[in-house]
Amino acid sequence: MRDSRSVLGTSSPRSLPGCLPEGDGSETLPLELVPIVTLLLAQNHRRYYEGVFMLYYDLSTDGTTGDRVWREVYGILTGNQLAYWDAKELAQCTDRPEQLLELSCKPKYLNFLDAVFNAMAVLPTSKKLLENVIIVLTTLRNRYIIQLRTQAQLQELFLALRIAAYEYQALQEAYTGALLSAKGLRLSNIRTVLAATRYNYSEWVKIRYGSGTA
């Protein structure tokens, strides 16, 4: 695998992500929600990782086989979304800024909001042993394999994914608390909801798991 500098040449890798929205809508929010929404927006645009790695599309959404071709890609993890580009195509555009800009605006994505992922130092396969890999299960049956060159790079990406997932969950919990604090007293049935009860109630619900919906 190439080093990220050799793929992008003299172009800055930080020029690849899309532009941020001009307004965050905070002017229409209740004052109690502005701090947590600001943090949520910051987390959504925070860059946790960037680098070059190998990507293998193993299984598609319906469980059938993917293309199963190893591709060298350049990826940027922003928030909980991994944008990636074909490293070979980027390398071909290093001396053509306009084409590089056009290509950078058309990444592919892996969404880690609902993904389950595990790092493995060694993954046994029928053909050979794969080292330094991350197995990614996204929604439904999608499965990808990410391979890094070294164990240090594996740890860097895996920890970035873990930190992004933790911060997103913690901020969502904080948002729920802030929302209830700001709006709870105005709900017509809030006293009924919070009142102690001696009875058990049951309802049918739809549960969203990490890799799908049941």
Task: Name residue 161's amino acid.
Answer: L
The confidence band for 206, taking pLDDT boundaries of 50, 70 and 90, is low
Buried b (16+ CB within 10 A) or exposed e, 92-127: ebeeeeeebeebbeebeebebebbebebeeebeeee
For 27, other C-beta atoms within 10 Å of its C-beta total 7
Nearest to 9 by CA among 92, 106, 84: 92
Find the farthest-apart pair of alpha carbons in the chain and give their distance in angstroms, rounded.
72
CA 20 to CA 117: how far, in whole Å? 28
pLDDT over 90 at 127, yes or no? no
Beta-carbon contacts of residue 78 (< 8 Å; ≥ 6 apart)? 17, 44, 45, 46, 47, 48
pLDDT at residue number 209? 58
DSSP-derived letter for residue 65 is B
Q: Which of 35-39, 128-132, 158-162 has the lowest mean pLDDT?
A: 128-132
pLDDT over 90 at 100, yes or no? no
Mean pLDDT, range 91-115, rounded to an integer: 89
pLDDT over 80 at 67, yes or no? yes
pLDDT at residue number 10? 33
pLDDT over 80 at 185, yes or no? no
Tokens found for residue 165: 């997932």
What angle do the packed helices 34-44 and 151-183 form, to 10 degrees? 160
Mean pLDDT, range 111-131, rounded to an integer: 88
Contact 30, 38 (CB under 8 A): no
Query: What domains lie within the chain, and their CATH numbers?
Result: 49-180 (2.30.29.30)
φ and ψ at residue 111, rounded to 5 degrees = -95, 120
Note the Cα 190 to chain centre separation in Å.
35
Torsion angle (degrees, nearest 10) of CA 21, 25, 27, 32: -120
- pLDDT single digits (tens) 32-54: 899 999 999 999 999 999 999 99
State whether residue 207 is helix, strand or coil. Answer: coil
CA 42 to CA 168: how far, in whole Å? 10
